[in-house]
Amino acid sequence: MDIFLKISDEPLDVLFCIGLVTQPACGGIDVFIGTVRDATKGKHVLRLEFEAYEAMAIREMRRIAETAFEKWPVQALAIHHRTGVLHPGDIAVIIAVSAAHRDAAFDACRFAIDTLKQTVPIWKKEVFEDGEVWVAAHP
Amino acid sequence: MKIQIRTFGIAREICGGASIQVEMPEHATAGELKQHLTEQFPRLAALASFLVAVNEEFADTDTRIQAGDEVAIIPPVSGG
């Protein structure tokens, strides 16, 4: 059970994450890459500003990885997340999961990104031409 | 007891700083702290939700807070 977690204000590296989870016993690697979209509800997005409660975010990410290992026969799991200022097209998050067979890799990868969005203390502010909003802050 | 509280995201803007200090009775619970914070910063009540973390773990309403604990306000998360 190999877990690789990182929160960084430097650009993320997809090939590096794939390399982290590549193992002789794995027959498949599933990768989710979350990128910055250039519009929200038709409004042009200039940039996103991410911040994290880093120590707690790493703890929650580890919890997600450990749960994934309990639920599916996966070999290795990497979660790398950005902080700081990102522009459309930039990579905000990478999740890479390896497993002997593809079903476990797909399922664990989807579980990891879905749960990350619900539980990991990371926040993003969308900045538009005419204002800014913390995503999901208000009902 | 004085509790130092870290704030993030919109909570940092509402509370006016990355760290605030509040005075609470000894052995106060996370629920009581939330109540206190909502009274002091009414805009917190307008959020979709907000949670309190104690020592880097999400706290239940009845989680007790000790002097020296690391306490944080967790507004709705939006990573990914």
For the stretch A122-136, pLDDT in tens is: 999 999 999 999 999
Specify the CATH number of the domain A2-129.
3.90.1170.40
The share of chain A scoring above pLDDT 70, in percent, equals 100
Q: Please work out, in degrees rounded to the nearest 5, the angle formed at the alpha carbon of residue B57 by the alpha carbons of A3 and A133.
A: 90
Which of A35, A61, A134, A135 would best serve as a mutation to test chain B binding (most B beta carbons within 10 A)?
A134
Question: Considering only CB atoms, which chain B residues are within 8 Å of A116?
Answer: 79-80
Nearest to A93 among B76, B77, B79 (CB): B79
Structural domain contains residue B62: yes
* CATH at B12: 3.10.20.30
What is the per-residue pLDDT across A18-66, written as a single tens digit (0 to 9) for each? 999 999 999 999 999 999 999 999 999 999 999 999 999 999 999 999 9
Chain A residue with Cα closest to B18? A53
Contact list in A for residue B43 (CB cut-off 8 A) is none
Mean pLDDT of chain A: 97
Q: Beta-carbon neighbour count of residue B60 at 10 Å?
A: 12
Does some domain include residue B23? Answer: yes
pLDDT digits 0-9 by tens, B2-58: 999 999 999 999 999 999 999 999 999 999 999 999 999 999 999 999 999 999 999
Domain span at residue B54 reads: 2-74
| d(C-alpha A130, C-alpha A38), whole Å | 15
Q: Is 0.90 surpassed by the pTM of this model?
A: yes
Domain count, chain B: 1
Predicted pLDDT of residue A103:
98
Rounded to an integer, the average pLDDT of A59-84 is 98
pLDDT over 90 at A1, yes or no: no
